Structure 1
Amino acid sequence: MPSVRQIWTAPEGGAPMETRETVRAVADGGLAGDRYCHGRGYYSPYDVCQVTLVDGGALETVRERYGIDLSDGRHRRNLVVDYDVVDLLDTRFSIGDAVFEGTRRRPPCAHVEEVAGEEDLAAALSEERGGICADVVEGGEVAVGDELRVVERLDDPDSIADAIRERREE
């Protein structure tokens, strides 16, 4: 089963990422103690991701192909997981007690290069390896080692039809 490898937060935009064993996901907010949950991120309030995820395999590819080791959190993503995170777009998924919704890709930018001190980092991560954004639908505790489970595919016609039926019944 796919799981969480690492958890990272930063208290302020540009501050070093800090590793954690557990974190509380706050509904409609982000991860407790993280810059974007508290409106102190570099892109706040204009381009905010509540939570960012990246595939640990993508970070290994960056290390192998480009010689850039990001195991210290310089990738600036909150959750490193054993899963192709692009497959989480338009899905609801659970990790620990929390439920998330994958919303969009989070390509790397010049700010990540600047903070990480790696000139070619954006190119190394690229669109394919940069990760995704997710919203916190239901809050709860998340820990390293927790399983990642897809709960619902939001782009599935059957799921959409079920949601419409449920609304009509209310």
Structure 2
Amino acid sequence: MQSLHAVDAIAGEGLAGDRYQTGSGHWHPVESCQVTLLSADDMERAHRRLPVALDHGEHRRNLVITGMRTRALEGRRFRIGSVLFEYGKPRPPCGYINQVTGENMAKALGRNSGVCLLVLEGGRLQVGDTLSIIPPETT
């Protein structure tokens, strides 16, 4: 995992250079996500469950948000920076995460391990960008 200050998101693909976007690294095509997202709140819950290190990308999620739980995004579209995302599905941890961290990270994260996102409109993401939920269309 590598921390970036900014990255481009590509519609229908994911984050430029990420393993899901390039088809490289450790992942399974059936379980792949364009982008994975985790909340700081979910990370704190995992740390309380089992004291594992989560502050250097050990959670293996692409984006971390603060101020809301990922559950609040279910079924929604939202923007982070100029990128339009849509909630895809929950992203349970895989066993590989334990091989990488050498700890029981999958158990610590449990059901609060993040979500898969679809990139509907590409753009630039930067640390500190605001997340804005798009109101449902009214008819």
Q: TM-score range by the shorter chain?
A: over 0.9
- Provide TM-score, normalisation by structure 1: 0.76
Cα distance in 1 for partners of 2:25, 2:135 equals 30
Cα distance in 1 for partners of 2:25, 2:38 equals 18
**Relative to structure 1, is the Cα distance of residues 44 and 110 closer, same or farther in structure 2, using a 3 angstrom cutoff?**
closer
Q: Give 1:140 shift.
A: 0.5
Residue 51 (structure 2) aligns with: 67
**Relative to structure 1, is the Cα distance of residues 124 and 44 closer, same or farther in structure 2, using a 3 angstrom cutoff?**
closer
Task: Give yes or no for contact 1:62–1:69 (8 Å, CA) kept in 2.
Answer: no
* AA of the residue aligned to 1:79: L
- Please state if 1:97 is matched with 2:82: yes
**Relative to structure 1, is the Cα distance of residues 87 and 41 closer, same or farther in structure 2, using a 3 angstrom cutoff?**
farther
Residue 37 (structure 1) aligns with: 21
Residue 98 (structure 2) aligns with: 113
* AA of the residue aligned to 1:84: R
Instruction: Pick from 101, 113, 128 the counterpart of residue 130 of structure 1.
Output: 113
Runs of 4+ deviating beyond 3 Å: none
Quick one: percent identity of the two aligned structures? 41
Q: Which has the higher contact order (CA 8 A, sep 6+)?
A: 2
Residue 22 (structure 1) aligns with: 6
Residue 8 (structure 1) aligns with: none
> Can you give the 5+ residue segments of structure 2 that lack an aligned partner in the other structure?
none
State the SS of the aligned residue for 1:146: coil
Cα distance in 1 for partners of 2:7, 2:77 equals 19
Task: Give yes or no for contact 2:46–2:110 (8 Å, CA) kept in 1.
Answer: no
- Provide TM-score, normalisation by structure 2: 0.92
Q: Give 1:86 shift.
A: 1.6
Task: Please provide the CA RMSD for this pair.
Answer: 1.4
Cα distance in 1 for partners of 2:135, 2:28 equals 29
